[in-house]
Structure 1
Amino acid sequence: MHDHIPNFKLDLDALGTANMMQMTTLALVAEGYLQFQDRARHTMKLQRPVVESENESKVNSEFSSSLVNAAS
């Protein structure tokens, strides 16, 4: 599994201030599955926290992340 990290700048106030920014990241989690009752398995899951400030929207190249614009 791999990802690509594009860099761009976007003015989200183009259609008003009711927009929100959402960060989509891949996270490694231990997940229990019915077919593997003896132990948890590691898998990748998507996490989607809402970005509250411009500082939180910075792309950290050490982790897998991409930005998604969502209307509130």
Structure 2
Amino acid sequence: MSSTETDAGDAADRRQRVVRVRGARRAQLTPAPGSDPDPELPARRDDAPTPRAGASGPNDEQLRRDVPPHY
């Protein structure tokens, strides 16, 4: 087996595949490598910045009072 065949096999293993679901109208994709397969549960990131409680800018009160014209 040559190195190009091996590279092609490795690339195929890392890619998403289309999976037919019996009785469904649409096919599904397998999860992408390195992704979270359960999108309902957000991934916890320790390096994400935490929002500052009570932080406000100079125009926050005005923005909270303003009401869009369609209300």
Question: Normalized against structure 1, the TM-score is what?
Answer: 0.26
Higher normalized strand content (fraction of residues): 1
Question: Normalized against structure 2, the TM-score is what?
Answer: 0.26
Larger Rg: 2
Higher normalized helix content (fraction of residues): 2
- Higher relative contact order at CA 8 Å, sep ≥6: structure 1 or structure 2? 1
